[in-house]
Structure 1
Amino acid sequence: MELSDILDENIIFPKANYTSKEEVLNGLADLFKKEGYIRDTQEFLQAVYNRENEGVTGIGNLLAIPHGKSESVESPGVAIATLNSKVDWESLDDEGAQIVFLIAIGTENSKDHLTLLSQIARKLGNDEVNTKLLSAQNKKEIVQILTS
């Protein structure tokens, strides 16, 4: 599974005004539900919070990659939010998050989520990419940055 193959503008939210980790997760999970990626928002969010309890998903450099494996997932997806200001998020560098990639994976797709995590982390290990994402004005720009 390639990141470029599953990017969907319908689940990308640039310049979001979320003010907390919970708002980000709820907002992106609602996008998943609205677009048919998940059947049950609460069941999916429970899987995400269970994973959050295992260890930090903020990988530093204002980036967080929360994820959940749930039977509620109809099809794998990556919802993305770039935030107007950083929010408190447990992270390796204690700086919070301003770019969030929420990954939804079904329970039978465990290899797929590791592949996606790896691709996202590799792509966003570049400070220039993160800067471009934060300044992107629309969904098309975000997709272009991530696929170039």
Structure 2
Amino acid sequence: MELANILDENIIFPKADYTNKAEVLQELSELLEKESYVSDASEFLEAVYEREKEGVTGIGNLLAIPHGKSESVQKPGVAIITLNNKVDWESLDDSGAQIVFLIAVGTENSKNHLKLLSQIARKLGNDDINTALLSAQKKEEIIKILTS
């Protein structure tokens, strides 16, 4: 599974105004449900919070990659949000988060889950990409940044 093949502008939200992690995760989970990636946003969100208990999903440099494996996932997806202001988020460098990639995979898709995590982390290891994502105004710009 390649990141470029599953990016969907319907689940990308640039320049959002949320004040905390819970609001961000709730919004992205509902967006995944609205677009039929998950059948039950609450069930999926519960899986995300279970994963959050295992360790931080903030990888540093204002980036977070929360993820959940749930039977409610109908098809794998990555919901993306960029925030106008950073929110508190447990991270490796205590910087919080301003770019969040919420990965949804079914319980049987462990390899896909790890492959997506790896692809996203590799892309986001580039400061120029992160800067471009933060300044992107449109969904199409975010997709272009992540696929070029």
With the shorter chain as reference, the TM-score category is: over 0.9
Once residues 58 and 9 of structure 1 are traced to their aligned partners in structure 2, the CA distance between those partners, rounded to angstroms, is 23
TM-score of the aligned structures, taking structure 1 as reference length: 1.00
Equivalent position of 2:52 in the other structure: 52
1:33 corresponds in structure 2 to: 33
Instruction: Give the CA deviation at 1:60.
Output: 0.1
Tell me, in whole angstroms, the C-alpha distance in 2 between the residues paired with 1:27 and 1:15: 13
| Partners of 1:113 and 1:19 in 2: CA distance | 28
CA distance in 1, matches of 2:19, 2:38: 24
Unaligned runs of 5+ in 2: none
Correspondence for 2:143? 143
Cα distance in 1 for partners of 2:18, 2:73 equals: 24
- 1:57-84 Cα offsets, whole Å, 9 max, x none, are 0000000000000000000000000000
Aligned length: 148
Who is 2:66 aligned against?
66
Matched residue SS, 2:93: coil
Aligned residue number for residue 106 of structure 1:
106
For 2:63, give the aligned amino acid.
Answer: L
Is 1:20 paired with 2:14? no
**Equivalent residue letter for 1:23:** E
Deviant stretches of 4+, over 2 Å: none
Determine the structure 2 residue equivalent to 1:118: 118
In structure 2, C-alpha distance between the alignment counterparts of 1:90 and 1:33, rounded to whole Å: 25
Give the 3-state SS of the residue equivalent to 1:91 in structure 2.
Answer: coil
Instruction: State the shift of 1:18 in Å.
Output: 1.0
Sequence identity percentage: 77
Partner of 1:78: helix, strand, or coil? strand
Give the letter aligned to residue 58 of structure 1. Answer: G
SS of the aligned residue for 2:84 comes to: strand
- What is the alpha-carbon distance in structure 1 between the residues aligned to residue 102 and residue 35 of structure 2? 14
